[in-house]
Amino acid sequence: MKEKNFKSIIVQGYVGMLFLLIMMTVSDLTLAGLSQNFDLLQNDPGTVGLWMTAVILCINVLIQIAIRTFDGKKFRQSIYVVSIIYMLLFVAHQIFHFAAGDGVTIDLMYDITHHVIGVWVIIYARKWAKLEE
């Protein structure tokens, strides 16, 4: 497989994860609105969660542009490492929700899909990182 294909797959994965993150936020807002209970947003996402979401959204978009712009062995390896960390943050977040007793929610469907895409991105980021100069 060509390097261009690896880059395209990785960027498409980040686009998918970005979309799912936005949908998680929209779903939380929609559920709060439908129940006419915006207090639900005090815990999830809460102020800290909203800031974290903003930071993650920005990082996601910058990663997509960086992958299309830069190359080099060290850069590709750093994308591989960042992709692992990025996914582990979402897995930790999901574990926190399970520990809190959230059970099956709409966000769970988004989270599982996000994790699958994250694994896919990690697999291809590793293949891209292993390419020779």
Out of 41-50, 74-83, 110-119, pick the least confident: 41-50
The answer to whether 60 and 12 have CB atoms below 8 angstroms apart is: no
CA dihedral 69, 25, 82, 124 (to 10 degrees): -70
Measured CA distances, 35 to 28, 29, 39, 107 (Å): 11, 10, 10, 16
The Cα–Cα gap between 107 and 105 comes to 5
3-state SS, residue 132: coil
Which pTM was predicted? Answer: 0.91
**Domain map (residue ranges) of the chain:** 3-129
pLDDT digits (tens, 9 = 90+) for 60-89: 999 999 999 999 999 999 999 999 999 999
Worst-scoring range by mean pLDDT, 13-17, 44-48, 91-95?
Answer: 44-48
Question: Do 28 and 50 form a contact (C-beta atoms < 8 A)?
Answer: no
Task: Identify residue 43 by its one-letter amino acid code.
Answer: N
- Three-state DSSP state, 84: helix
**Above pLDDT 70, what percent of the chain?**
100
Side chain identity at residue 80, one-letter code: Y
